[in-house]
């Protein structure tokens, strides 16, 4: 989890958002949580209730995203908006406003999206590192080839101790780091694509290199349109190289491929940030009664139901109803339990 503590919260920012009267302090929330935990499971209505109506999802944003900081006005440009942060942010902001109106001391801390307000070091987002140990036994052949395409200057056998590698992103558990290719290639078998670039086979894949045993970028669906790149001398028979399919993919599957490297092989992290890290897009936090926790859009509805005293929950865009008690764990995470204080 993030190495942040509530003391770091910008008071000015928090107070502009959470100035209204607070009805639900820690004690009250704890009592309500205990009450929910001990309440019997309510009866589930057989038919969806009238209040369960579908809410339109926010429109999907373009593949890039420009964040304008509310505090300092700085524009931070993200090449790829892998989380649809634009839509997400609008939803989270609205959610915070409505929950505050219900009497909860909640604000949204979106400062991680601003490169000026929060440095890469503040957020523990390294951009490069030094290899301190190499994997034994030797990497698989595809791994070696990939390393060469990722790091053209690296020796053919892959990483050596002392090499500096670029870190693209990191996984959720932050134990694993990734290096990304500088110029990713996208190959498809020619039998899977028509001359005008339409995918014709079910179960077709885009490969990083024109080899069946190579890494797969993503699977592509029938009818999808891809832009075929002009063939070059030496291109292997039976393969076609295409452009990165961003415009018609409608999916985030086409992220540049990357290789996970376990942290134990890396050392001397550098926190320079040549361009805003996409990791920032996953770092929007709620600040609830002074506690910070990663914000998820589904929290809004859960918290609203809880504060209203509902015992049943009907998520937006769903006709199903289920006991709110099933969200007890998340509610305890959001509000903090009495054991924590």
* Pair of tokens at residue 195: 């001359």
Residue closer to Zn ion, measured from CB, 53 or 77: 77
Q: Across-strand partners of 276?
A: none
Provide, rounded to whole angstroms, the least separation between the CB of residue 112 and Zn ion: 10
Residue closer to Zn ion, measured from CB, 86 or 327: 86
Sorted by sequence, the CB contacts under 8 Å of residue 74 that are 6+ apart come out as 68, 114, 115, 116, 117
Q: Does 284 bind Zn ion (CB under 5 A)?
A: no
Provide, rounded to whole angstroms, the least separation between the CB of residue 20 and Zn ion: 24
Residue closer to Zn ion, measured from CB, 71 or 304: 71
Going from the C-alpha of 239 to that of each of 149, 220, 227, 233, 331, the distances in angstroms are 18, 15, 14, 13, 51
Provide, rounded to whole angstroms, the least separation between the CB of residue 105 and Zn ion: 23
Which stretch in 66-74, 172-180, 186-194, 227-235 sits in contact with Zn ion by CB under 5 A?
66-74
Out of 79, 116, 191, 227, the residue judged to bind Zn ion by CB under 5 A: 116
* Pair of tokens at residue 106: 């909640």
Residue closer to Zn ion, measured from CB, 49 or 74: 74
* Pair of tokens at residue 137: 């036994």
Q: Does 117 bind Zn ion (CB under 5 A)?
A: yes
Touching Zn ion, residues 95-114 (CB under 5 A): 114
Residue closer to Zn ion, measured from CB, 27 or 72: 72
* Total site size for Zn ion, rule CB under 5 A: 7
Provide, rounded to whole angstroms, the least separation between the CB of residue 74 and Zn ion: 5
Which stretch in 53-61, 116-124, 258-266, 297-305 sits in contact with Zn ion by CB under 5 A?
116-124
Query: What is the pattern of x (binds Zn ion, CB under 5 A) and - over residues 130-159?
Result: ------------------------------
Which stretch in 62-70, 126-134, 220-228, 245-253 sits in contact with Zn ion by CB under 5 A?
62-70
Q: Which DSSP state fits 201? A: S
Contact 182, 271 (CB under 8 A): no
- In this structure, the dihedral spanned by the alpha carbons of residues 274, 11, 19 and 23, taken in order and rounded to 10 degrees, is 100
Provide, rounded to whole angstroms, the least separation between the CB of residue 180 and Zn ion: 26
The DSSP line for 230-280 is: PP-TTPPTTEEEE----TTT-SSTTPPP-EEEEGGGEEEEE---SS--GGG
Short-list 9, 11, 77, 140, CA closest to 277:
77
Query: What is the pattern of x (binds Zn ion, CB under 5 A) and - over residues 72-91?
Result: x-x-----------------
Q: Which DSSP state fits 76? A: E
**Is the N-terminal amide bond of 286 cis, ω within 30° of 0?**
no
Residue the block writes with tokens 């957020």: 123
Provide, rounded to whole angstroms, the least separation between the CB of residue 212 and Zn ion: 48
Provide, rounded to whole angstroms, the least separation between the CB of residue 71 and Zn ion: 5
Residues that bind Zn ion (CB under 5 A): 69, 71-72, 74, 114, 116-117
């Amino acid at each position: 989890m993030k190495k942040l503590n509530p003391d770091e919260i910008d008071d000015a920012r928090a107070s502009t958002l959470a100035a209204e009267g607070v009805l639900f302090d820690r004690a009250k929330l704890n009592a309500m949580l205990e009450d929910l935990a001990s309440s019997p499971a309510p009866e589930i209505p057989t038919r969806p209730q009238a209040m369960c109506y579908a809410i339109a999802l926010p429109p999907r944003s373009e593949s890039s995203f420009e964040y304008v900081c509310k505090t300092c006005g700085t524009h931070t440009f993200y090449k790829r908006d892998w989380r649809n942060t634009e839509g997400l942010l609008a939803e989270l902001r609205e959610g915070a406003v409505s929950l505050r109106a219900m009497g909860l001391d909640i604000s949204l801390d979106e400062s991680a999206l601003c490169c000026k307000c929060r440095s890469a070091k503040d957020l523990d987002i390294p951009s490069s590192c030094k290899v301190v140990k190499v994997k034994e036994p030797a990497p698989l052949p595809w791994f070696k080839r990939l390393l060469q395409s990722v790091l053209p200057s690296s020796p053919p056998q892959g990483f050596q101790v002392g090499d500096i590698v670029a870190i693209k992103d990191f996984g959720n558990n932050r134990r694993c780091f990734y290096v990304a290719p500088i110029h990713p290639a996208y190959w498809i078998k020619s039998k899977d694509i028509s001359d005008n670039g339409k995918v014709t086979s079910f179960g077709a894949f885009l490969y990083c290199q024109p080899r069946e045993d190579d890494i797969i970028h993503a699977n592509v669906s029938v009818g999808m349109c891809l832009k075929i790149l002009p063939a070059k001398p030496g291109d292997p028979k039976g393969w076609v190289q295409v452009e990165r399919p961003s415009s018609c993919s409608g999916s985030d599957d086409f992220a540049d491929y990357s290789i996970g490297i376990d942290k134990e092989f890396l050392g001397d992290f550098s926190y320079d940030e040549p361009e805003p890290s996409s990791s920032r897009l996953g770092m929007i936090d709620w600040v609830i009664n002074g506690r910070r926790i990663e914000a998820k859009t589904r929290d809004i509805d859960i918290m609203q139901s809880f504060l209203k005293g509902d015992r049943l929950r009907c998520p937006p865009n769903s006709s199903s109803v289920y006991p709110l008690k099933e969200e007890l764990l998340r509610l305890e995470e959001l509000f903090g339990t009495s054991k924590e204080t």
